[in-house]
Amino acid sequence: MTNSALPATKPANPNFSSGPCAKRPGWTLEGLSDAPLGRSHRAKVGKAKLKLAIDLTREILDIPADYRIGIVPASDTGAVEMALWSLLGARPVDLLAWESFGEGWVTDVVKQLKLKDARVLKAGYGELPDLAQVNFDHDVVFTWNGTTSGVRVPNADWIPVDRTGLTLCDATSAAFAQDMDWGKLDVVTFSWQKVLGGEGGHGMLILSPRAVERLESYVPAWPLPKIFRMTKGGKLVEGLFEGETINTPSMLCVEDYVDALNWAKAIGGGAGLRARSDANFKALADYVARTPWIDFLATDPATRSNTSVCLIVSDPEVKALAPDAQAAFAKAIAGALEKAKVAYDIGAYRDAPAGLRIWAGATVETADIEALLPWLDWAFADAKAALRKAA
């Protein structure tokens, strides 16, 4: 890298990773001192903490009272897998995929569960599949927000209220940042480490009454591991949705999640969280609009994520390079920013097109986004100078 002039100000918090994401403003380890460490999660104090996490989740996300909320193992992935293995197979299924995690659910359903009546609707990175083609007499599996492409569904208007199939929604980078229409969603999953900046390893599984009805009336043709089982004797195990977890949770992680939920409540709940994410995205969108060398990966403004903001280098000289060289150029930008301790972990996801991915969720301060922007120009200019020097 050459030595162009350095911007005057660095972000106070350089953590722009898309998961685990930045901790809430003002977070301290001492703030978790009320965690019941060394105590059983089945003791009264442990169960109370788990129930508090569930109750606060319902309050912040405005989840209907008749929806069940469970804390499950293995992060969002575990929650999605529990839903796929427990609910699918009763009717045909439509699988929507436009980035790597959606592709993963396609693999699980088609190659692991081997469902014959599975229809896959795909789109490339930066695009959405044709939502008008979805058959809601089928079960439907989709991600609300593509974490690795920065493409989200714009709303739930494409989902009918009177559908006969279930909708299974991976909302891990959408929950707490985007408005969820609960009446259109039968299964919703997410993890703590995204918009609320919690710790990894724990997932949330939210079930509508229709999903519960399916669980109690349908038995899959395949064996279910203990860690996936949500019914006993044909009835839902209600304790799973009252804090009686399937496996042992980390009470320190639970305390951290409760801490983040209490912070969210203090700043205005779900509306406050969405406003912070929107403000962060606006700062990035305004920058992209005035900056000729960078653009969004998402082609339609209505589908651009306000959390996992995926950007490409649109400079003609860079776009003319071979794909490997384009990837190297983007990595040089991310590497320079990490070396300068300005931004950590902002390279594009490994399966995505070359570029940058900047987390703009609610725990990120808009002032830090704004402080980052001149550094993006600095890193681009130095990478461009190095490219020309090597030519």
Residues 298 and 278 both lie in one domain: yes
pLDDT at 248 over 70: yes
Here the CATH number for the domain that contains residue 257 is 3.40.640.10
Residues 251 and 277 both lie in one domain: no
pLDDT at 335 over 90: yes
With CA atoms as reference, report the closest residue to 295 among 317, 316, 312.
312
Containing H/E element for 118?
strand 118-122
Residues 52 and 197 both lie in one domain: yes
For residue 1, being part of any structural domain is answered with no
For residue 17, being part of any structural domain is answered with no
pLDDT tens digits, one per residue of 155-170:
999 999 999 999 999 9
Containing H/E element for 143?
strand 139-143
Residues 144 and 223 both lie in one domain: yes
For residue 15, being part of any structural domain is answered with no
Alpha helices in 153-268 (DSSP H): 209-217, 251-266
Domain boundary among 265, 298, 313: 265
Q: What is the mean pLDDT of residues 343-360?
A: 97
CA angle (141 as vertex; 139, 142 as ends), nearest 5: 145
- Find out whether 196 and 177 touch, Cβ atoms under 8 Å: no
pLDDT tens digits, one per residue of 291-300:
999 999 999 9
**44 CB contacts (<8 Å, ≥6 apart)?**
none
d(CA 275, CA 324): 38
Unique residue bearing structure tokens 């209490």: 262
Using CA atoms in the order 90, 203, 158, 300, what is the torsion angle rounded to 10 degrees?
A: -140
Domain boundary among 250, 265, 280: 265
pLDDT of the residue at 4? 74
pLDDT tens digits, one per residue of 81-117:
999 999 999 999 999 999 999 999 999 999 999 999 9
Domain boundary among 247, 265, 283: 265
d(CA 103, CA 85): 16
For residue 311, being part of any structural domain is answered with yes
Cβ-count burial of 213 within 10 angstroms (0-12 exposed, 13-18 middle, 19+ buried)? middle
Using CA atoms in the order 152, 156, 159, 163, what is the torsion angle rounded to 10 degrees?
A: 130
For residue 239, being part of any structural domain is answered with yes
- Other CB atoms within a 10 A radius of the CB of residue 113 amount to 18
Q: What is the mean pLDDT of residues 138-164?
A: 98
**Whether pTM exceeds 0.95:** yes
3-state helix, strand, coil in the chain (%, to 5): 40, 15, 45
Per the structure, the complete domain to which residue 356 belongs is given by: 270-390
Structure-token pair, residue 236: 């839902």
Residues 95 and 169 both lie in one domain: yes
pLDDT at 360 over 80: yes
Residues 300 and 327 both lie in one domain: yes
Specify the DSSP class assigned to residue 349. P
pLDDT of the residue at 99? 97
For residue 21, being part of any structural domain is answered with no
Residues 209 and 286 both lie in one domain: no
Residues 255 and 165 both lie in one domain: yes
The length of the chain, given as a count of residues: 391
Q: Which long-range contacts (CB under 8 A, 24 or more apart) does 39-43 make?
A: 39/251, 41/245, 41/248, 41/249, 41/251, 42/244
- Find out whether 246 and 271 touch, Cβ atoms under 8 Å: no
pLDDT of the residue at 3? 58
pLDDT tens digits, one per residue of 55-70:
999 999 999 999 999 9
Residues 282 and 260 both lie in one domain: no
CA angle (389 as vertex; 384, 391 as ends), nearest 5: 95
Beta bridge partners of residue 232, listed in sequence order: 235
Q: What is the mean pLDDT of residues 223-248?
A: 96
pLDDT of the residue at 1? 45
For residue 22, being part of any structural domain is answered with no
Q: Percent of the chain having pLDDT more than 70?
A: 99
Here the CATH number for the domain that contains residue 282 is 3.90.1150.10
For residue 221, being part of any structural domain is answered with yes
Structure-token pair, residue 130: 């044709």
Residues 226 and 303 both lie in one domain: no
Residues 352 and 325 both lie in one domain: yes
Domain count, the chain: 2
Residues 275 and 259 both lie in one domain: no
Q: What is the mean pLDDT of residues 50-59?
A: 98
pLDDT of the residue at 233? 96
Instruction: Give me the chain's average pLDDT, please.
Output: 97
